[in-house]
Amino acid sequence: MSVRDLYVSFVTEFGVVDAVKGVSFDLHRKEILGLIGESGSGKTTTALAVLSLLPPYARVKGQVRFFGNEPIDVLSLSESQLYSYRWAKVSIVFQGAMNALNPVLTIRDHFVETAKAHGISDPKKIKELSYELLKSVELEPARVLRSFPFELSGGMKQRVMIALALLLRPSVIILDEPTTALDTLTQRSILELIKNVRDQFETSMLLITHDLSVIADSADRVLVLYNGVPMEMAEVKSLYYRPLNPYTRMLIDSFPMIGKILKEKGKMLKPASLHGCPFAPNCPLATADCYGATMVMKEVEKDHFSSCIHADQIVQEENSDE
């Protein structure tokens, strides 16, 4: 999948709100690409644009291309074409498995309705698929299929959602905050499951989260967003150990570490700038040029991209420290 210069804005009664501003990335085969940022950074909006699931009052510009047997220009698909694209090519595990399942339907009903909606009507085939997929996510099919959602734990419901997302063997699965509201041990098992599913079904995954530990444990590459703007993209280890954007640096520093002494209390961030770099009002490296700069992701080091105009200065500082 390839996304280029994606812009999303919403027309509201208060005016036009720009939610995503120039996001570009490639999602490679069998890759887990992490999409990280704080609340309101445009992560879920980007994912919904990939599926063309945004509401009618959204304005979308840019290009979203899916590469299967033949390239698909997603944003130009008709409603009927989108119906066959969603779930068959790209599926999604929505944020909050607690609320994503219909409480008055059994898990078997969820599998049957999803299968029939996409042309699979043979009861024997549906049963075989549901059993196979529930086993693949380490659940007991006979028990789970006859259960209602409220009879399952949070971790079990999340596994059911992943199994449903695999029903039509899509090439890409979007996981929106898959570990939210789960305890630490369950989070760990879900992350292990995600990697196992990627390897077993050879799917590509777009993993959306605000949790740095989730990205560090599961993703191959990371794209960092702030206020809808792409700030940095790199391989996971490169981004964690050598961040080349001040926002990424501060995001990583905000994560509590064992033995780390917090020298100052957290500060409320100032509103993002409407022009230039959105992080400029909060950035320790900001200069007057930052407020009028055009945000462009450039390759600062091999396969390591940053939109900061001071990225070369950061590299020099990193090299001098070494």
Helix, strand or coil, per DSSP, at residue 87:
coil
Per DSSP, what are the bridge partners of residue 63?
4
Would you state the pLDDT for residue 273? 47
What confidence score (pLDDT) does residue 256 get? 66
CB 139 within 8 A of CB 151: no
Q: What angle do CA 118, 73, 129 make, to 5 degrees?
A: 25
State residue 143's pLDDT score.
Answer: 96
How many Å apart are CA 322 and CA 316, to the nearest integer? 10
In this predicted structure, what is the pLDDT of residue 263?
Answer: 47
Q: Which parts of the chain sit beneath pLDDT 50?
A: 262-268, 270-271, 273
pLDDT at position 97, please? 66
Sheet holding 204-209, edge to edge: 90-93, 172-176, 204-209, 32-36, 221-226, 229-235, 304-306, 298-301
Instruction: Note the Cα 283 to chain centre separation in Å.
Output: 25
The domain segmentation of the chain, as residue ranges, is: 2-219, 225-256+270-321
Instruction: Give the position of tokens 């590299």.
Output: 315
- State pLDDT tens for residues 101-136: 999 999 999 999 999 988 899 999 999 999 999 999
Return the CATH architecture of domain 2-219.
Answer: 3-Layer(aba) Sandwich (3.40)
Q: Which pair of structure tokens corresponds to residue 283?
A: 């950035």
Distance CA 49, CA 24 (A): 12
Query: Who contacts 203 (Cβ-Cβ below 8 Å, separation ≥6)?
Result: 30, 166, 170, 171, 172, 173, 197
